[in-house]
Each structure stands twice: as structure tokens, then as C-alpha cells.
Amino acid sequence: MSDIVEPQIIEGIPLSKRGQKRTRRHLFGAFLDACRTQGAEKAIITDGDERVLSYGDLRRAAFALSAPIQDISSKGESIGILLPTGAGAVISLLSIHAAGRTPAMLNFTAGVKNLKAAAKTAQIKYVITAHKFVDIGGLEPLIKLLSGTVEFLYLEDMKEGLGTKAKLRALFGPYLPKFLTPQASPDDPGIILFTSGTEGLPKGVVLSHANILANIEQIEEHVELLPSDIFFNPLPTFHCYGLTAGTLWPILSGYPVVLHPSPLQTKTVAKRISQTRSSVLFATDTFLQQYMRASGDGGLSSLRIAVCGAERVRDETRKTAEERFAFEVLEGYGVTECAPVLAANQPGDIRGGTIGKMLPGLEVKLMPVDGLDGAGALWVRGPNVMTGYISPDDPGQVIAPEDGWHDTGDVVSVDTDGYYIIRGRIKRFAKIGGEMVSLTVVENCAAAVWPDSMHAAAIVPDPKKGEQVVLVTEEPDAKRQDLLTWAQNHGVAEISVPKKIIHTDGLPVLGTGKLDYVSITKLAKNALNV
């Protein structure tokens, strides 16, 4: 690895001509193509209640529910979806596209303030949800607080109220799609998602139809699947990883997918993976560890691969998967703004500690970072890079990335074989005594010393050095000396060993499966009274 002293551009391999051609569709058109190719009778979704839906079931429902959506909204209008992962979310998304509107995926764990801001940013008037979901999730207070901002459309009520127009659309839609669905351009907004809002109000991320379809083609060409593969996705569809990779990829490519409403139902998820004989699992490292603990030896033996993103995959996770259950863990990397997958290890070609190689069709630019040698800030450009942001300060207006380049906010290095290593987020480096300390390195050291526990590093103020790093850990017997000894024996600078270690029974986790670093930092500050 050479030092990065000026911007360095790395040309990736191109997306195939077939892949490029398949991106020039709209999402509902791609779904209809899959229906024709796979056959209307093919079972494609197994829902959380074990109900099985075919392509034909989804198509009829989408055409039928598009009628009431068309009646109350105008072409191109954003329609919110506030639903867990499941057939309801898929049908809602397809219905909105069939009506010529744009789905906006809302995070029901984000809180009232962020949801109101998201609705304002994307100019959302109507939100689709379900009575059953609201009841089971205990979301009545949330719905009440949001009702003055948006109007809720309940799937059960929409189904009961279907009139003649809806029934005719359901009947003739499969035969006359060009006449009954608005023909969107591949470059029109296809889906709106939202940033986490941890650094202010959430921004809207506008992904075009082509962005989403390009990412599916990129993944398809990068990760080899078997015709017999069955996907299992418990990740939320309000998060781009759970939406694109875990839901749309299998549906548009013809792989049956088992959907589960919550990744937090550890024992149920492990049981359903076994019962459905699923072979490809989407998870985060944290969730995968929990599923393996909840499963007896051989309980996850149907799995061939688990694709993990959103956080680093620990060596212990990969080792447990291989030794207890005989499946591979593919670590991947992506960001919402890129639809989201950018890189991934491949079956049979896993290099531990890396995120693998970049997907086809991407250009990479590494920008120098002050104080860091052999690494650079990762910028990317390609067909999956978003149309742009919608700022909370300028609702409805899309701000495109300059010259097509997106700054991921992550620092990476590249080895001589083209494998990428995440060094940390730019905002997750502390400056102590003039030296840059990566919080990711701190967490990796802790994971090596105490592999059975979860750890997170946080930056808190220091009266002498400006900043200090604190380790927050679930390990009850964590001692600094053990961490220091490991660091000294493995060539890690002592400055990367936190002087303060705080124990907690459970690290806060976001609905996306990522660690909640905002809450973790507050926990550290409260413990140290700073």
C-alpha cells in the first residue's frame, strides 16, 4: 500500500452490456418482466405469518391498490410507507409505482421529530401502514402524533374499499400494462430513503429507478448464486440494504425470499431459517451472532452464505459460522446514497478484515487525509450513485452530487490485490496530542481480547488533550491492562488503548442493526460526568 499524497482514481471493471441494458427500465417494469420470465404461478415471497405469495398474487394486488392511490394523489407525488419487512411493504411499494407515484420508506423507529421532518422534506401527504402493524407494534401514540402532519392509509381499509376501477385494473393490468401504468423514465425518482438524522434533521436520499436496478445488476455479477438458493431477509425495508439486496434483488431476479418483520426476534429468526431451508441470509454481524447463539448445532445448516453489512464482521463470527454451521460469511460495504452496495467479498474468495473488491461499474477516488498514511477518503462514481439529496431546508428540491462523485465519509486503504479495508469513518477518528486515533482500531483490539462481547468506542472531551477515547463494552471483566498487553504484543500504538473502560449490560442498537453511537457517546459522557 502506497502513501496517498494526492487524489488517486481507480478504474473498476465495467458492468456488462447486458447489465447496462437491464438498468434502463423502471422498477415496476422490471417487476412485470420478472413475472413474465418466472411465470405468474411461481411462489416468490413467504411472509412472516408463513403465507406464500406468487408473482401473480403480487401483480394483482399491486394493480388493484394502485387505483385508490391514483385517486387521491398526483403523478410523481411521494407516498410514504410505514411498515415492517413483509408482503405488505412489497405490495405497497409496487402499488405506488403502478400508480406512477414515488415510494418514500419511513423508519418507524426514528421518532416523531425525524418522521415529521422526513414528511416535510419529501413533501409526503399520505402514508401507507396497516392496523395490524400499529396494534402489534404499539404505535398508536406515534400515529396520533403524526396524524396532523400526514394522512394514514391502512392496507386493510384500502382492500375492503376496492371498487370497480381497482378490480378492472387487477384483471386487465397484466395484459395492458402500458395502458394502465404511467411509463416512468429510468432516471426518474424511484425510491426516497432518509439519512439517520444523527447530525441534524434527516436528508432525503433520492434513488432513481436506474440506480436501484444498476445496483441489483452489480450485485448479481459480483456474487455467484445457485438456482436453488432461497433468501432470508429480516432487515428493515426502510434501510437500503434490507430493501435493495434483501428484498428487491431476489424478487426481480427470481429467487424465493422469506421475509421476517423484525431482526430482533432472535429465536424466531433462527427457527424460521431452519424451517424454510433458506440458503442466503442478510444480516449484520451483531444480529448474525445472536442468531447463531439462539440456534443449536446444525440448526442453521441450510445456510450457504450469510451476507453481512452495516458493521465490521468479527473473526469470531466467521469462525463460528464455519465451524458450527458450515456456511461462509461475506462481508460487504455500502451506503444509502449508492443504493447501497459498493463492495463485497465473494463466495470462495473471502479475505478476512476486508470488504472485498468493488462491484462492477464503479470508479473510486481516494482523497488524502491529514495525519493518515496509506489510506484515503473514499469517493465513488457509478450508475448506482444517487440522483441527489433533498435538504430539510429546501423541501422537494434535489441537489445532485457534483460531477457524479459521492463522498462516502469513510477512510479506506487498498491492498496490492485490490481488496478494500475500512479504516473508519472520518468522523470516527480522535485527535489526541496531535495524533489521529481510529475508533475502529480500538474496537477491533477489544474484539480480539474479548471476542464473545460487543464493544464500542466513543470520543469524549478531555481537559488536557482536547479529546479522549473511551471504550464502552458488554464485557463485565474488561481491564485496561489486558487490552494494553494485547496491543503491545501486536504492534498497536499505546495511544490507541483507551484509558477509560465503561461496562454496560447492552450496547444501544439502531433499528437498522447498527450500533447507536449517539446514545453510546451520551452513555460514556454520563459515566464520566463530562
Q: What is the pLDDT of residues 274-325, one digit of tens each?
A: 999 999 999 999 899 999 999 987 789 999 999 998 888 888 899 999 999 9
Name the β-bridge partners of 435: 432
Average pLDDT, the chain: 90
Do residues 386 and 218 lie in contact, with contact meaning Cβ atoms separated by under 8 Å? no
Q: Which residue has the cell 413474465?
A: 36
Q: Which of 44-53, 130-139, 334-343, 346-355 has the lowest mean pLDDT?
A: 346-355
pLDDT of 176 above 60: yes
With beta carbons less than 8 A apart as the criterion, state whether 96 and 126 touch: no
Over range 41-52, report the average pLDDT.
97
In angstroms, the first-to-last Cα distance of the chain is 39
Using the predicted structure, report yes or no on whether residue 482 has a pLDDT greater than 70: yes
Cell of 288: 448474525
Structure confidence by residue, pLDDT tens digits, 209-259: 999 999 999 999 999 899 999 999 999 999 999 999 999 999 999 999 999
- The residue among 166 and 471 whose pLDDT is bigger is 471
CATH number for the segment(s) 433-528: 3.30.300.30
Q: What is the pTM of this model?
A: 0.84
Q: 6 to each of 21, 127, 202, 370, 381, how far by Cα in Å?
A: 35, 47, 32, 11, 18
Reported confidence tier of residue 512, pLDDT bands at 50, 70, 90: low
Residue 161's H or E segment, with its range, is none
The residues spanned by each domain of the chain are 8-414, 433-528
**Is the predicted pLDDT of residue 371 greater than 80, yes or no?**
no
430, β-bridge pairs: 437
- Predicted pLDDT at 425: 75
Confidence grade of residue 2 (pLDDT, cut at 50, 70, 90) = very low
Task: Give pLDDT, residue 529.
Answer: 80
Confidence class for position 1, pLDDT limits 50, 70, 90? very low
67 dihedral zone (left: phi>0; alpha: psi -120 to 50; beta): alpha
Return d(Cα 99, Cα 96) in angstroms, integer.
5
Share of the chain above pLDDT 70, in %: 95
pLDDT reported for residue 245 = 96
Which CATH class name applies to 8-414? alpha beta
Q: How many CA atoms are closer than 13 Å to the CA of 22, on its beta-carbon side?
A: 20
Ramachandran class of 488: left when φ > 0, alpha when ψ lies in -120 to 50, beta otherwise: alpha
